[in-house]
């Protein structure tokens, strides 16, 4: 359930904390009174999807809960809270609400919040701001967080090359950007290198949805790719990527487990989205692996630094394969494929494999 905070305030409900309203809405007991120390409160401003998007925002929110658990803080003022955005029009109002509600460190999740975070950091110079997946320079109260998603996507592409039976795989992205270039570039390079090692010729279909919300369009694109022979699709499309899982499940339920098509998950471990029962009555799973972006770790890491009075303002922190800032799950990878993936990981860390940051033209 989403709330319009502007309307809430305008209605004169100033005596209710935002956290109390949110927890009451979700059916959870309000626990906002337990946070007596308000100096360490952190707030999450989502992109156009909610915290339960099975992807980007969910990963960040998990880090917030980890932070609260470690420091004995509860959801609400002085602890941790989220402000959901239905669209870009909500970014600035939500940042303002978070700052005025007393949260000290405020996170903007996604490059689409760059301009709004930049403006808010200027308006509230005594607050800490964290921008995920983009960079703001010249602001001592802003920490910018980036991820080497191309490295983990390379491993996903390698896994696809070792697994495909049709020698046709697909990539479906959300909205085209330099951030999504990392996913596409890494995946395609991994497929290419895997194909070369195996003596295969593998075709990669690629298409962008144009946003991170249109599950129907993602489903339609996936349907087309699977129909054209792809047996594995890597989706880097946020909430829209759920449409790819929907299409794969529909197809897999209509055939035997041995003939399943696969999906490669993104951001968080999406193995649970691949559970299904095949036509021959077998319980199975079609999430081949998931390419993890360490938002959970990164969000908690920076919050912990702020808690200790060491907020990395003015810095750009980049998380890669080292310390599992990005990674892949073993998922349904067979032993041979997992061995190849682990070997490639070591080579990337050693600098023996250089992964591109933009797709080749």
What distance in Å separates the CA atoms of residue 50 and residue 36, rounded to the nearest whole number? 28
pLDDT tens for the chain, 361 residues: list them.
333 433 333 333 333 333 333 333 332 333 444 577 678 999 999 988 888 888 889 989 999 999 999 999 999 988 999 999 989 999 999 999 999 999 999 999 999 999 999 999 999 999 999 999 999 999 999 999 999 999 999 999 999 999 999 999 999 999 999 999 999 999 999 999 999 999 999 999 999 999 999 999 999 999 999 999 999 999 999 899 999 999 999 999 999 999 999 999 999 899 999 999 999 999 999 999 999 999 999 999 999 999 999 999 999 999 999 878 999 999 999 999 999 999 999 999 999 999 999 998 7
How far lies 112's CA from each of 43, 46, 109, 179, 220, in Å? 17, 10, 8, 11, 25
Which residue bears the tokens 């001592």? Answer: 140
pLDDT tens sequence across 125-184:
999 999 999 999 999 999 999 999 999 999 999 999 999 999 999 999 999 999 999 999
Handedness of CA 110, 115, 118, 124 (dihedral sign): negative
Report how far apart, in Å, the C-alpha atoms of 278 and of each of 197, 256, 274 are.
32, 5, 12
pLDDT of 37: 67
Distance, in Å, from the CA atom of 237 to the CA atom of 222, rounded to the nearest integer, reads 12
CB 343 within 8 A of CB 154: no
Q: pLDDT tens, 78-94?
A: 899 999 998 999 999 99
CA angle 291, 84, 105 (to 5 degrees): 80
Q: Is this model's pTM higher than 0.85 or not? A: no
Beta strands in the chain (DSSP E): 42-45, 80-83, 105-109, 128-132, 142-147, 168-173, 203-208, 232-236, 262-267, 275-277, 283-285, 287-293, 316-319, 326-328
pLDDT by residue (tens digit) across 183-206? 999 999 999 999 999 999 999 999
């Amino acid at each position: 359930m989403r709330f319009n905070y502007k309307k809430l305030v305008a209605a004169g409900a100033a005596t209710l904390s935002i956290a109390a309203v949110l927890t009451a809405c979700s059916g959870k007991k309000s626990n906002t009174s337990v946070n007596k120390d308000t100096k360490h409160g952190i707030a999450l401003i989502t992109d156009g999807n909610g915290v339960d998007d099975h992807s980007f925002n969910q990963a960040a929110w998990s880090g917030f809960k980890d932070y609260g658990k470690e420091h004995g803080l509860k959801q609400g003022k002085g602890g941790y809270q989220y402000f959901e955005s239905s669209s870009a029009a909500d970014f600035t109002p939500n940042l303002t609400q978070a700052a005025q509600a007393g949260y000290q460190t405020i996170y903007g999740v996604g490059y689409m919040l760059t301009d709004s975070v930049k403006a808010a950091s200027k308006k509230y110079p005594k607050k800490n701001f964290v921008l995920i997946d983009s960079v703001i320079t010249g602001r001592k109260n802003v920490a910018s967080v980036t991820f080497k998603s191309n490295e983990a996507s390379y491993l996903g592409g390698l896994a696809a090359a070792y697994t495909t039976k049709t020698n046709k795989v697909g990539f479906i992205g959300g909205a085209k950007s330099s951030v999504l270039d990392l996913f596409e570039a890494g995946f395609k390079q991994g497929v290419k290198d895997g194909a070369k090692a195996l003596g295969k010729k593998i075709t990669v279909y690629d298409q962008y949805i144009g946003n991170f919300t249109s599950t129907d369009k993602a489903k339609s694109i996936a349907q087309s790719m699977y129909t054209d022979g792809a047996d594995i699709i890597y989706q880097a499309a946020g909430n829209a990527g759920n449409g790819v899982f929907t299409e794969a499940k529909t197809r897999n339920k209509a055939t035997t487990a041995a003939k399943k098509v696969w999906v490669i998950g993104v951001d968080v471990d999406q193995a649970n989205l691949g559970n299904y029962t095949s036509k021959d009555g077998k319980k199975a799973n079609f999430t081949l692996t998931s390419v993890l972006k360490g938002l959970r770790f990164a969000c908690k890491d920076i919050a912990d630094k702020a808690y200790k009075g060491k907020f990395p303002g003015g810095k750009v922190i980049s998380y890669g394969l080292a310390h599992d800032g990005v990674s892949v799950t073993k998922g349904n990878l067979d032993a041979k494929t997992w061995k190849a993936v682990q070997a490639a990981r070591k080579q990337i860390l050693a600098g023996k494999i250089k992964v591109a940051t933009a797709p080749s033209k």
